[in-house]
Structure 1
Amino acid sequence: MALNNTYDARLQQETAVGAGVQILLLALLGSAIGMGPVGWLTGLVFAFATWAVLSRAVHRSRLRSFGPANRVTLGRSILVGGVTALVADSFESAPPVTLLVALTAVALLLDGVDGKVARRTGTSSALGARFDMEVDAFLILVLSVYVATQLGPWVLLIGGMRYAFVAAARFAPWLTAPLPPSFARKTVAAVQGVCLLVAGARLLPAPVNLTVVLLALGSLVWSFGRDVAWLWRTARTPARVPAEQPQQLLELELAAR
């Protein structure tokens, strides 16, 4: 028990360090661009919420070490917190596009690094996979909010689709069934961040940005639609019992007697 408490204390220290680094990044951004109260408040709420949720998750997971892969994901979440603060601040003043794009680009480039690190170090875990997925989803949501100020509220469909899927699963439990691995699904998910970043950078003409984001949304609708259709068919298909299974069960029962 004492050893478990030691492991838990170390894990909690790492999450606390992450929150401290997040606040440091906010301070650097604030001094660089004169971030207003909305940006500061949003960034601090993100830092506190991440610390609270992650601390609870690592406590329940009973991991012995936070692991290098989770540290990479934590670093990405810190960058996402900075992007979140900048996007919130953009509603009060002109956004620092270059800084926002730079933080987002690094966060996107690091996506996938944590998975490779986990596999190479043998530290893959359910917590790490969920942490990585939530960081990705929230970054897409924040970028959707930012791009929606330029192209319209329909862009929020990109960031909100995953959360709508999770909410729908509460009323339709068949949506919670595990999906088979899919390279297409991973590709579509990665494309969303890239397309939103391109549009958010404002380097291309507005019609081009509109086309890029529409293509991203179309691919996302296709991906979710395909997965929902697969889950629906699977839920309606009764599990098939091999013909030889009853005979095997009978033989086991006779042997047990």
Structure 2
Amino acid sequence: MIELHRNTAEHLAWAGVQVIALGVVAATAGLGPIGWVAGIACALVTQALVGRAMRRHATTALGPADRITLVRAGLTAVITALVVDGAGPPVIVVLGILALISDFVDGQVARRTGTASAFGARLDMEVDAFLILVLSAHVAVSSGPWVLAIGAMRYLFVAASWWLPWLRAELPPSFARKTVAAVQGIVLVAASSGIVPRSDELVLLALLVLTWSFGRDVLWLSRFRT
């Protein structure tokens, strides 16, 4: 019971930090009412889902890498607020770069501290997926709705698994899969800047590579389904 209250307090503290971050951005870059609503909703939903995932994985406390991942979740909440609010590229690019750096750091911390876990890996993956969705929505405004396919692909895969249970099987570790996922964020942040030449072609190439990656995983799962 004490551990439960401690975790609840930490989740509320993280949500509070995210709201404070929204306030800082609002004071410096500006943030309208719609952006505030989106950012706060994102912060609260994130912490609620983290608490639920901890209970599901029987995780009693967050590890150091998990907390770094939650920093990225906080950055994602702020980016979401800015994208919904129609903010310009500079602040989104800066926050996007920080989020990408944290994605590299949390994995390193988990390995060096020996705190890697199934919960941490799932948290990392879901935060990354939502960040890519938000960035793709931002880039889609200038490049076209087709860019949303990058952000939607992970969620379409999950939706398909509701009807095809064999898609839920565990995939073997893959450096190529991790590299492709990292490339999506890098390309979308670069395209968000508006200064990278031929950014549409780069985003299209990233989408094609992502499609190949998901297609390869689906073929593997299909071949070894039980």
Q: TM-score, structure 2 length as denominator?
A: 0.96
- In 2, the alpha carbon distance for the partners of 1:43 and 1:35 equals 10
> Which residue matches 2:66?
70
Corresponding residue for 1:170? 162
Determine helix, strand or coil for the equivalent of 2:59: coil
Bigger RCO of structures 1 and 2 (CA < 8 A, at least 6 apart): 2
Q: Which structure has the larger Rg?
A: 1
1:121 maps to: 113
1:81 aligns to what?
77
How many angstroms apart in 2 are the aligned matches of 1:124 and 1:233? 29
Per the alignment, do residues 151 and 181 of structure 1 end up closer, same or farther by CA in structure 2, a change over 3 Å counting?
same
Q: 1:229 aligns with which of 215, 219, 222?
A: 219
Cα distance in 2 between the residues matched to 1:56 and 1:218: 34
User: What one-letter code is carried by the residue in structure 2 that aligns with 1:209?
Assistant: S
Opposite residue 153 of structure 1, the aligned amino acid is P
Q: Quick check: 1:184 aligned with 2:176?
A: yes
8 Å Cα contact 1:69/1:117 also seen in 2: yes
Instruction: Quote the Cα distance in structure 1 between the aligned partners of 2:52 and 2:216.
Output: 34
**Deviation for aligned residue 1:112:** 2.7
Structure 1 spans left out of the alignment, 5+ residues: 239-257
- Local SS of the residue matching 1:58: helix
Report what 2:133 is aligned to: 141
Letter in 1 for 2:215: G
Equivalents in 2 of 1:174, 1:104: separation in Å?
34
Residues 158 and 217 in structure 1, CA contact (< 8 A), matched pair in contact too = yes
SS of residue paired to 1:203 = coil
TM-score by length of 1: 0.85
Aligned to 1:248: none
Gaps of 5+ in 2: none
Within 5 A, what are the aligned runs for 1:16-55? 16-55=12-51
**Aligned counterparts of 1:8 and 1:122: Cα–Cα separation in 2:** 24
Q: What is the Cα deviation at residue 140 of structure 1?
A: 0.2
Counterpart CA distance in 1 for 2:154 and 2:172 is: 17
- Structure 2 residue identity aligned to 1:143: L
Q: Deviations over 1:15-45 (max 9, x none)?
A: 1111000000111111112211111110011
| Corresponding residue to 1:195 among 187, 198, 207 | 187
| TM superposition shift of 1:9 | 2.0
Task: Provide, for residues 96-117 of structure 1, a one-character-per-residue CA deviation record: whole Å limited to 9, x for no partner.
Answer: 3211100010000111321221
Superposed CA RMSD: 1.3
Kept after mapping to 1: 8 A contact 2:59/2:119: no
Check conservation: 1:8, 1:59, Cα contact below 8 A: no
Q: Distance in 1 between matches of 2:177 and 2:223?
A: 18
Distance 1:60 1:187 in 2: 28
Shift of 1:126: 1.6
Task: Within 5 Å, give how 1:86-105 maps onto structure 2.
Answer: 86-90=82-86, 95-105=87-97
- Asked whether the equivalents of residues 14 and 66 of structure 1 are also in contact (C-alpha less than 8 Å), the reply is no
4+ residue runs of structure 1 moved beyond 4 angstroms? none
Aligned residues: 226
| Counterpart in the other structure of 2:5 | 9
Contact 1:18 1:51 in 2 (8 A): yes
1:110 alignment partner, SS class: helix
Q: In structure 2, do the counterparts of structure 1 residues 112 and 34 end up closer, same or farther at CA, with 3 Å as the change threshold?
A: closer
